């Protein structure tokens, strides 16, 4: 029975030797891993025991290298030089010629000048009968509508433009008035003796009375009387009206806009 205490003491010694050996092995492992016992922090490194035998290899989770180290920034500069020396398209692209918008096949139309062009050569026509246009209203009340009426005047010969304009302002004769024929032109309206017929365009200057009185429809009738009387006679294809040396663009207080060049409209004409 005295042998038991000796056996128990030997077991404790063996256990101490074993623990000491394990501790020594752990110390050697930590030194091989670069552990510095003087620095604080965790006893085991962040990388754990996976770096054993791979000290020279960089860990997958190693801290990034300093971007300002000599090797790194020199490489970056070399990369920038390569980029700057590459060939890029010229930022200032050559301007393409503008597409021509004007079709040369369409002839240019020169509109009459705003100013009265001045007198031209006066027409001279032999005696005969010349057509002239007045108005007649058909219907009653709101359904009343004006129609152009074609009549004739005996012409003694000479200048037909002044003669026809004077007949328009004079109005229909008593017999024609009895049949309901009227004129939209006032007797006060005058035509200046100077006019110009050029390239089929009759440039005619009249007094300001052409714009006075009457509704929009009456003003249109007034223009049609002049145009239908002058156009298609003596080589006249269209009319341009002036007043006080300026081209007329509007008529009446409501500002009836008139075309650049006045030509015959598609209007029904009654022949007496």
In a domain, 193, yes or no: yes
Highest mean pLDDT among 85-94, 179-188, 253-262: 179-188
In a domain, 102, yes or no: no
Q: Which domain holds residue 191?
A: 128-271
Most distant CA pair in the chain, distance: 178
Q: What is the pLDDT of residue 11?
A: 73
pLDDT band at 215 (very low <50, low <70, confident <90, very high): confident
In a domain, 86, yes or no: no
In a domain, 227, yes or no: yes
The answer, yes or no, to whether residue 91 has pLDDT greater than 70, is no
Among the listed ranges 64-68, 81-85, 267-271, which one has the minimum average pLDDT value? 81-85
- The structure's pTM equals 0.58
The answer, yes or no, to whether residue 249 has pLDDT greater than 60, is yes
In a domain, 141, yes or no: yes
Q: What is the pLDDT of residue 102?
A: 46
The answer, yes or no, to whether residue 259 has pLDDT greater than 70, is yes
Q: What is the pLDDT of residue 121?
A: 84
In a domain, 236, yes or no: yes
pLDDT band at 172 (very low <50, low <70, confident <90, very high): very high
Q: What is the pLDDT of residue 130?
A: 96
In a domain, 14, yes or no: no
Count: domains in the chain:
1
Q: What is the pLDDT of residue 224?
A: 96
Q: In whole angstroms, what is the distance from residue 204 CA to residue 243 CA?
A: 9
Q: In whole angstroms, what is the distance from residue 49 CA to residue 54 CA?
A: 10
In a domain, 61, yes or no: no
Segment 118-137 shows an average pLDDT of 92
Q: Quote the mean pLDDT of the chain.
A: 77
**Is the model more confident about 139 or about 112?**
139
pLDDT band at 79 (very low <50, low <70, confident <90, very high): very low
């Amino acid at each position: 029975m005295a042998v038991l205490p000796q056996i128990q003491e030997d077991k404790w010694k063996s256990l101490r030797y074993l623990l000491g050996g394990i501790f020594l092995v752990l110390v050697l492992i930590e030194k091989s891993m670069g552990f510095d016992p003087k620095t604080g922090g965790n006893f085991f490194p962040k990388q754990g025991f996976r770096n054993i035998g791979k000290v020279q290899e960089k860990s997958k989770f190693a801290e990034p290298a300093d971007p300002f180290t000599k090797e790194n920034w020199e490489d970056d500069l070399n990369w920038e030089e390569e980029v700057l020396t590459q060939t890029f398209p010229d930022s200032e692209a050559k301007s393409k010629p503008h597409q021509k918008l004007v079709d040369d096949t369409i002839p240019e139309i020169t509109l009459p000048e705003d100013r009265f062009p001045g007198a031209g050569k006066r027409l001279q026509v032999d005696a005969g009968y010349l057509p002239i246009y007045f108005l007649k209203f058909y219907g009653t009340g709101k359904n009343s509508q004006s129609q152009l009426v074609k009549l004739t005047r005996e012409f003694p010969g000479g200048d037909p433009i002044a003669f026809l304009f004077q007949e328009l302002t004079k109005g229909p004769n008593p017999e024609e008035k009895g049949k309901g024929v009227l004129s939209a032109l006032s007797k006060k309206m005058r035509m200046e003796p100077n006019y110009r017929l050029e390239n089929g365009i009759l440039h005619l200057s009249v007094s300001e009375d052409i714009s006075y009185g009457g509704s929009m429809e009456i003003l249109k009738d007034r223009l049609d009387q002049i145009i239908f009387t002058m156009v298609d006679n003596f080589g006249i294809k269209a009319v341009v009206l002036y007043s006080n040396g300026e081209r007329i663009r509007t008529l009446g207080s409501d500002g009836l806009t008139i075309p650049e060049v006045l030509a015959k409209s598609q209007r029904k004409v009654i022949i007496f």
